[in-house]
Amino acid sequence: MFCLNAQNGQSAWSAPAAWSGAEVWRGRAGFGSIVDAGSVLLALTPASEMVVFQPGDKAYTELARIKVADTPTQAYPVIAGNRLFIKDKESLTLWTID
């Protein structure tokens, strides 16, 4: 994951190695998703981790990283108020955001 300056196309920052294509589940790279949650962004990784980070023009600031499922996630995370719904291969899980 990385950030580009829209005015000049220059790279502003790139995320740590954990985001640079190394996220795998059972040896296969997968797709992640990013959802706007107001002052932070939520990123669901291919390894079924929810990463909470602050967007910024100068740096990637990770605030939390939580394992949200034991099997691959199969849909975008859904935010409804202070609730977060995560769908994996076997279940739909409700998380409460404080």
Rounded-to-integer distance, Cα 90 and Cα 73, Å: 9
**β-bridge mates for residue 14, sequence order:** 2
Per-residue model confidence as pLDDT tens for the chain (98 residues): 788 888 999 988 887 655 444 444 444 556 788 999 989 999 998 788 999 999 888 888 999 999 999 888 878 899 999 999 999 888 999 999 87
pTM score, whole prediction: 0.76
